[in-house]
Amino acid sequence: MGIRVLIVDDHPVVCEGFSQLFEFVDGIDVVGTAGTGAEGLERMERLSPDLVLVDLSLPDLDGATLAAQMHKRHPDSRVVIFTGGADPGEVRRAVAAGVDGVLMKTMPVAQLITAIRDVAEGREVVDRDLAGILMEPDAETGAVPLSERERDVLGLLAQGMTNKDVASALFISRATVKSHIENILRKLNANDRAAAVAEGFRRGLLRA
């Protein structure tokens, strides 16, 4: 059995189209689809997917809220926002909700398949067309937001953990840890880990 995927999207053509697409991909199995957030939660309980593709715009719940609920109920499952739009505010809210990835429905199929496999292996993935949005300063605070996983990494760095320790604690590779640290340093405008931790406390991202 490959990566068990649940698709939550209120457009039947999207659910059907990608379900058929993945039938021809080794290692990815669509175990169900849902058209609303409520249906998505019910099917997640029943099907226990490894990964859920969630549309940002659903009739009853927005994708970011649904993703947060799914993560809370099923912390071992990966949740990826799968969107056709790129509204900066919505993308930031999705990342803040702790999703494991944000992907565009228009991305090339080969890249989508690679992204799903990367997320299933514990890496966070953001569509290259959306990455720039996440690096733009927030209009109100002027700060570049850290993702939930980046905040997790920063918290462990504050405890004095090495890359190896962080990788073990978060069940991710050292290469992924290194990538997160590079993003943290850039977003916090810090030269090293100590400066990043200090800036994290200053911004309220960390608490003593």
Structural domains of the chain, ranges and CATH numbers in brackets: 3-134 (3.40.50.2300), 148-202 (1.10.10.10)
Q: DSSP of 61-109, one letter per residue?
A: SBHHHHHHHHHHH-TTSEEEEEES---HHHHHHHHHTT-SEEEETTS-H
Residue ranges for the chain with pLDDT beneath 50: none
What pLDDT is recorded for position 8? Answer: 96
Residue 102's nearest CA partner among 93, 91, 112 is: 91
User: What are 82's strand-pairing partners?
Assistant: 103
Q: Quick: pLDDT tens for 70-107.
A: 988 888 899 999 888 766 677 777 777 778 888 888 88
Q: In sequence order, what are the beta bridge partners of 5?
A: 30, 51
Residue 112 pLDDT: 92
Predicted pLDDT of residue 141 = 52
Q: What is the DSSP letter of 53?
A: E
Confidence at residue 1, expressed as pLDDT on a 0 to 100 scale: 67
pLDDT of residue 9: 95
